[in-house]
């Protein structure tokens, strides 16, 4: 398969454009028909098989323009045999480069005046025979600009430069590409010619050194553009994966924006999976009663079969968050996550407490998220934790509304400062609710240490989970939605 197309497909997928294996094969067939020579024709042809919606077409156009450059499709005027060959990076072919031809340089030296320091006869005779001996040296002094670019691209492919992830790898991949192009032999040749000491060898060594530095700069630019082409999205994905797994208590304020985007993306994913209601289909379990009733008009002949279909019962959720200092970060992101799922879970009621329990549902409905978080912490946070008082308030104001369609989620460390835990109220909640889920941000080894009351609360919960990362939150909410379908 064409490696250029494969890399381009990876770029499209990194930009979140969905390209199926079948579409990849269609693109291969398309390239076999149209070739790489005409950029505009190639772009329009691939767009027919790789981009489906207007949004995808915009993404495709941006990726194509970054991946393929006009210069890649222009043959080298100094090389008649060179066909138009596409390459991986956004390489600037228009920059002028010094011609490292020793013969031409010597002719220029002969034409110079006496004030310019004419070359001796022996040097003039020796100069034409001085050519670079290393493969990279020959490429730099005798090869065309296109030859050098092709060699650089092939070296980049050999070291997998498209796998660059972070910007700090720029120097590493620059060195790898230079080594793959033959830097070691060129270094040795430069050293040998400098040690020779005569003027022609010294002159050629200096020119090779200058050409080497110019090539290094071009390779560095190429690697940098490869980073922005391939690693911009993959680096973002890597950062998202790390933020999903890191403890929420370790997140700094500068990460909140990224985490919020991750939460919304996770919520959108869950919405797409769980928001569809099941429709009546022509398969599954036969509904005998409906079939008999609807076919009475046909004298009992089964012309119209009816199948059983289950309607998605969206759960009613009550979320209780401990917002005392030790778990405030966890509560913040749980509330954020649940409110991102409003399309799937429209009946979410949220409560916050340190000791006294207060409902914050309307606050989040009528206020921007960040402001709502700040007001919640101001009104209910930073107090002395009292789970017994919280359960008493819940029994007085909310418990009567709990039924077998209600799922109660409690997020807290269950540390009660050695007060009365009121576990008997949690037992009442357990008996009335469909499910009681306790999410504890501490590891299980800490659930029975000090003033923790999890040993008394756990028997009165349907499910107890360690929950201290976005991955844990996603898993809990996903399981909650699955149980409702």
- Domain span including residue 193: 102-109+119-242
How far is 411 from 324, CA to CA, in rounded Å? 11
Question: pLDDT tens-digit profile of 241-297?
Answer: 777 777 776 666 666 667 777 777 776 666 565 555 445 455 667 788 888 887 887
**Per-residue model confidence (pLDDT) at position 81:** 39
Say if 75 falls within a structural domain: no
Say if 403 falls within a structural domain: yes
Q: Above 70 in pLDDT, residue 377?
A: yes
How far is 423 from 454, CA to CA, in rounded Å? 10
Q: What is the pTM of this model?
A: 0.51
Kind and range of the H or E run holding 359: strand 357-359
**Per-residue model confidence (pLDDT) at position 175:** 92
Say if 89 falls within a structural domain: no
Cα 150 to Cα 72, 75, 96, 179, 254, distances in angstroms: 10, 12, 17, 15, 42
Say if 311 falls within a structural domain: no
Q: Above 80 in pLDDT, residue 214?
A: yes
Query: Residues 286, 306: contact at Cβ < 8 Å?
Result: yes
Say if 148 falls within a structural domain: yes
Q: Clarify whether residues 227 and 275 are in a common domain.
A: no
Q: Above 80 in pLDDT, residue 134?
A: yes
Question: pLDDT tens-digit profile of 44-100?
Answer: 999 988 988 888 888 888 888 877 764 443 344 444 333 333 334 444 433 333 443
Q: Clarify whether residues 331 and 476 are in a common domain.
A: yes
Tell me what the pLDDT averaged over the chain comes to.
76
How far is 186 from 168, CA to CA, in rounded Å? 26
Say if 91 falls within a structural domain: no
How far is 194 from 180, CA to CA, in rounded Å? 24
Q: Report the domain count for the chain.
A: 4
Question: pLDDT tens-digit profile of 312-321?
Answer: 555 688 889 8
Q: Clarify whether residues 339 and 462 are in a common domain.
A: yes
Closest CA to 436 of 475, 459, 409, 401: 409
Give the number of other Cβ atoms within 10 Å of residue 241's Cβ.
12
Q: Clarify whether residues 289 and 360 are in a common domain.
A: no
Q: Clarify whether residues 273 and 331 are in a common domain.
A: no
Q: Clarify whether residues 62 and 193 are in a common domain.
A: no
* CATH, residue 325: 3.40.50.410
Q: Clarify whether residues 131 and 185 are in a common domain.
A: yes
């Amino acid at each position: 398969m064409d490696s250029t197309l494969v890399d381009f497909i990876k770029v499209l997928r990194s930009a979140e454009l969905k390209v199926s294996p079948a579409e990849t094969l269609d693109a291969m067939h398309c390239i076999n028909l149209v070739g790489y020579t005409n950029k505009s024709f190639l772009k329009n042809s691939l767009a027919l098989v790789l981009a489906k919606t207007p949004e995808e077409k915009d993404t495709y156009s941006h990726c194509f323009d970054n991946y393929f450059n006009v210069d890649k499709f222009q043959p080298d005027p100094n090389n008649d045999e060179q066909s138009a060959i596409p390459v991986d990076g956004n390489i600037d072919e228009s920059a002028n480069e010094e011609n490292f031809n020793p013969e031409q340089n010597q002719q220029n030296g002969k034409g110079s005046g006496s004030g310019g320091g004419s070359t001796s006869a022996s040097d003039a005779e020796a100069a034409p025979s001085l050519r670079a001996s290393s493969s990279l040296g020959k490429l730099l002094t005798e090869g065309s600009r296109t030859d050098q670019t092709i060699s650089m691209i092939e070296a980049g492919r050999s070291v997998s430069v498209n796998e660059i992830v972070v910007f700090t790898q720029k120097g590493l991949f620059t060195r790898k590409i230079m080594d793959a192009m033959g830097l070691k032999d060129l270094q040795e040749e430069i050293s040998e010619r400098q040690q020779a000491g005569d003027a022609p060898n010294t002159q050629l060594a200096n020119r090779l050194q200058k050409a080497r530095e110019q090539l290094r700069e071009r390779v560095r630019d190429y690697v940098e553009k490869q980073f922005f082409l391939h690693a911009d999205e993959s680096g973002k994905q890597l950062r998202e994966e790390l933020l999903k797994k890191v403890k929420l208590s370790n997140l700094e304020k500068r990460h909140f924006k990224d985490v919020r985007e991750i939460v919304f993306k996770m919520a959108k994913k869950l919405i797409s999976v769980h928001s569809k209601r099941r429709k009546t289909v022509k398969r599954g379990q036969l509904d005998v009663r409906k079939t008999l009733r609807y076919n009475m008009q046909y004298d009992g002949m089964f012309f119209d079969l009816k199948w059983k279909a289950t309607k998605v019962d969206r759960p009613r959720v009550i979320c209780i968050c401990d917002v005392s200092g030790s778990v405030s970060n966890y509560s913040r992101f749980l509330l954020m996550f649940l409110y991102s799922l409003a399309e799937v879970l429209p009946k979410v009621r949220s409560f916050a407490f340190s000791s006294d329990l207060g409902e914050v549902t309307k606050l989040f409905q009528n206020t921007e998220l960040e402001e709502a978080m700040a007001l919640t912490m101001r009104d209910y946070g930073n107090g002395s934790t009292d789970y017994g008082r919280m359960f008493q308030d819940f029994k007085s104001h909310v418990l009567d509304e709990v039924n077998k369609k209600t799922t109660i989620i409690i997020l807290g460390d269950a540390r009660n400062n050695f007060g009365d835990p009121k576990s008997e109220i949690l037992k009442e909640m357990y008996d009335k609710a469909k499910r009681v889920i306790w999410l504890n941000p501490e590891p299980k080894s800490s659930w029975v240490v000090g003033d923790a009351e999890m040993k008394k609360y756990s028997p009165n919960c349907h499910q107890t989970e360690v929950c201290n990362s976005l991955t844990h939150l996603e898993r809990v909410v996903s399981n909650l939605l699955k149980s409702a379908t």
